[in-house]
């Protein structure tokens, strides 16, 4: 399925441009530079279906991709967050777009919250998790770039993230560990996504 059709559908800078809610959706979010584009590309087997955010803080759209032939679900690439120097206006616009989308999007089955393995959870991730808790959108925490740190360090970070996840009502207790570069954890994450959309 994932190596079949994956096609860019549209980019929605505002909620009025969202596609009709015709298919189940799985959204991806995370801090800017967390490795979101790389992970989406690796999961779908496309080299560059999702583009790296060239200017941090500028990409404020929700990007939709269709997966499967015929379409089985849509993948939603959410705008990155957590840039230190983002103007308040940009942050407010992000928050409004994301919160309203998450609260009102009926076909959204799951959100993947990407977290850099080297950094663990940051306050901006906690903020995102709270928005998801309040919107009652179930989410999986996905550690990225796992190839960049030692296995012992990775274990520690994963345990800390899991411990915090247990305090969040909408978070899955199981943490996913991935590396887009090494292909680590991708099969498991694909299986989880299929479970989520077929559930």
Give the whole-angstrom CA distance, residue 196 versus residue 126.
Answer: 22
Give the whole-angstrom CA distance, residue 138 versus residue 135.
Answer: 9
List, in order, residues 6 or more apart from 92 with CB less than 8 Å away.
none
Say whether residue 72 binds ligand GDP (CB under 6 A): no
What residue ranges in the chain does DSSP mark as E strands?
A: 6-12, 25-30, 62-67, 73-77, 108-116, 139-144, 176-177
Say whether residue 181 binds ligand GDP (CB under 6 A): yes
Among 24, 21, 23, 19, residue whose Cα is nearest residue 9: 19
Say whether residue 33 binds ligand GDP (CB under 6 A): yes
Radius of gyration over every alpha carbon of the chain, rounded to an integer in angstroms = 16
Among residue numbers 76 through 105, which ones bind ligand GDP (CB under 6 A)?
80
Per-residue x/- track, 129-148, ligand GDP (CB under 6 A): ---------------xx-xx
Say whether residue 117 binds ligand GDP (CB under 6 A): no
CB closer to ligand GDP, 56 vs 138: 56
Say whether residue 118 binds ligand GDP (CB under 6 A): no
Q: Which of 12, 26, 38, 192 binds ligand GDP (CB under 6 A)?
A: 38
Say whether residue 60 binds ligand GDP (CB under 6 A): no
The tokens of 28 are what? Answer: 């991806």
Residues that bind ligand GDP (CB under 6 A): 30, 32-38, 52-53, 80, 144-145, 147-148, 179-181
């Amino acid at each position: 399925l994932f190596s079949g059709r994956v096609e860019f559908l549209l980019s929605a800078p505002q909620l009025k441009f969202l596609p009709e809610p015709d298919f189940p959706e799985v959204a991806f979010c995370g801090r800017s530079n967390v490795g979101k584009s790389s992970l989406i590309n690796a999961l779908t087997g496309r080299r560059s279906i999702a583009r790296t955010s060239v200017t941090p803080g500028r990409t404020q759209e929700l990007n939709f991709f269709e997966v499967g032939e015929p379409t089985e679900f849509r993948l939603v690439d959410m705008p990155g967050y957590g840039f230190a120097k983002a103007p308040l206006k940009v942050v407010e616009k992000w928050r409004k777009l994301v919160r309203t989308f998450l609260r009102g999007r009926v076909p959204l089955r799951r959100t993947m919250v990407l977290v850099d393995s080297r950094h663990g959870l940051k306050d901006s991730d906690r903020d995102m998790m709270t928005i998801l808790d309040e919107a009652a959108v179930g989410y999986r925490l996905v550690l990225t770039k796992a190839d960049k740190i030692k296995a012992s360090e990775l274990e520690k970070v994963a345990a800390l993230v899991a411990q915090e996840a247990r305090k969040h009502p909408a978070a899955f207790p199981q943490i996913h560990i991935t590396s887009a570069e090494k292909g680590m954890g991708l099969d498991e994450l694909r299986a989880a996504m299929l479970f989520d959309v077929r559930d």
